[in-house]
Amino acid sequence: MSTRWQIAARLSGGRCGCIYVHFDGYPEHALRTLQAAYTDQKIIDQLIALGDCRSVGVRIEECDTFSGREGEKWEDIKPTYGDDLKAVADVHRHGDENYRYTWDGRQWAMEQL
């Protein structure tokens, strides 16, 4: 069984974005990975721009995205953007996520859904 999760982040310029991740959302992995590898704002912007992912690696190049997979349409897996962090995450929610990890521009926080 997968531990599904969201990444919602304040992006460069103050905009917010959110993506869904299918695997490995438990805090011992996801929060640790985000805190260790995703604290540079440019990298976080790139992570969100990937769209929904199957998993997030310790390097942006190691993220396994849904983009380019047979049958996946960008319209269905693209990030959700907006001005309010919580609102963007709520709009992007699939309904089966266990956790939401948010970047406020300085640090990561975790919320169990």
Q: What is the pLDDT of residue 77?
A: 96
Q: What is the pLDDT of residue 105?
A: 95
Contact predicate 13/2, CB 8 Å: no
Give the pair of three-digit tokens for residue 98: 């266990």
**3 state SS of 46:** helix
Q: What is the pLDDT of residue 57?
A: 96
- pLDDT for 30-45, tens place per residue? 999 999 999 999 999 9
How far apart (Å, rounded) are the C-alpha atoms in residues 76 and 113?
A: 22
Query: What mean pLDDT, rounded, does the chain reach?
Result: 95
pLDDT less than 70: residues of the chain:
1
Contact predicate 11/31, CB 8 Å: no
* Domain ranges (residues) in the chain: 5-112
DSSP state of 35: H
